[in-house]
Structure formats: structure tokens, C-alpha cells
Amino acid sequence: MTTTRFTLARVLRRAWGPVRPVLLVGLPLAAAAEALACAGLAWRDGNANRAIAALEAGQDRPVAADAVPELLLARIRFLAARDRLDEAEPLTAALDGGGAPALRALAQIALGNARLRQAFARLEAGDLERATPLVGLARQAYRRALTLRPEAWDAKFNLDVASRLVRDFPERGREQGEEMQADPKTIWTDIPGQPRGLP
């Protein structure tokens, strides 16, 4: 037993000899590399936080498509609030590629709100033809948000508003003061619980 311990200790000493200088040099270098990586991440996060704060304060900041997801969301919201949706599209695609579902849902809600605001502006101007597709795009954005985050109350409420808005549009091409044509075949069949045919 003593001989085995003595032999094992000698083998370990022999193995430790060549490894020791490598570890003495390698461990400090690895620690320095890790410290540099942490410092780089802290610098990146600090820059991102400053840019997010500036965007939320209404100051325009350029954002690259490979930025952190939170910064992409802040830029998308900034652009959507100013109806610059063409600029927001590539950022939305980048966020969809790497962002968390909650952040992606918030981006879709911001885009849907922007489309709905544009639709309301067209409706106030009496331009139904251009308002209808905007409402459709808003509804799509809200549905995407709800698939990502089903509990998003804002998306549910705004989807309901957009759906009612489409349903409440007057018929296209109808002049002011014209009466709507009633189709006798569908009057009774549209009422739930009523039999088909004559009353």
C-alpha cells in the first residue's frame, strides 16, 4: 500500500512538472481575456441603454440591424410613432430573427398602432379606399402580436377596434344619402336561429 502511494505521488509530480508553467501563464491570460470580454459587453450595454433612453425621449438615433433586441424595439417604436414604417421594416425583420417573443409582440403592437392611426387619418379625410388596406395591415400586426404573446391586452383591444372599424365601413362606391340595397334572400338567414326561407 505504501509503495503504491509512493509511486502515484511520483507519477503526479512528474505530470505536474510540464503542466505547471503552462497553467501559470495560461490562467492569467484566460482571466484577462474574460475580463476584456466582460468590459466589452458592459460598454455595449451602456451604449445601448443610452441610445434607448434617447429614443424614448424623442431623440433620433441610428440603430444597426445587429443591435441588441431591446435597442431594436426602441428604434421600431420611435419610427412607428412618426409614421416612418418603411425604415422600421428591416429592423422588425432583424428583431424577428433574434428577439424574445415578448419584444417581438411589442414591436408588432407599435406597427399596428401606427397603421391604425394612418387609417383613422384617411377616414377623417373621407378616403375609404386607402383606409381599408391600412386597417387590414393593422389587424395583421395585432394578430401576430397575439400569437407571440396571447395575454397582450393592448393587442386584443386594438384588434377588436380595428375589426369593428372594418365591419362598420359603409359600402364602397355608395354616394352620400343613397339608401343601402337590401337583399331579401339574406335578411332572414343572417339572423341566428331563424329558419331559411320566407318568415
Helix and strand counts by DSSP (H, E) for the chain = 7, 0
Residue among 167, 138, 168, 169 nearest 155 (CA): 138
Instruction: Report the pLDDT value the prediction gives residue 53, as an integer from 0 to 100.
Output: 87
Q: How far apart are CA 71 and CA 52, in angstroms?
A: 6
Instruction: Report the pLDDT value the prediction gives residue 51, as an integer from 0 to 100.
Output: 85
What are the angstrom distances between the C-alpha of 33 and each of 25, 37, 130, 196?
13, 6, 57, 79
- DSSP label of 197: S
pTM: 0.65
Q: Which parts of the chain register pLDDT below 70? A: 1-6, 9, 12-13, 15-17, 19-20, 22-33, 35-45, 166-199
First-to-final CA distance of the chain: 106
Instruction: Report the pLDDT value the prediction gives residue 44, as an integer from 0 to 100.
Output: 61
Look at domain 21-168 and name its CATH class. mainly alpha
Instruction: Report the pLDDT value the prediction gives residue 128, as an integer from 0 to 100.
Output: 85
Q: How far apart are CA 159 and CA 116, in angstroms?
A: 10
Q: How many Cβ atoms are within 10 Å of 154's Cβ, its own excluded?
A: 16
Instruction: Report the pLDDT value the prediction gives residue 124, as an integer from 0 to 100.
Output: 87
Domain positions in the chain are 21-168
* pLDDT tens-digit series, residues 141-179: 999 999 999 999 999 999 998 888 766 655 544 444 444
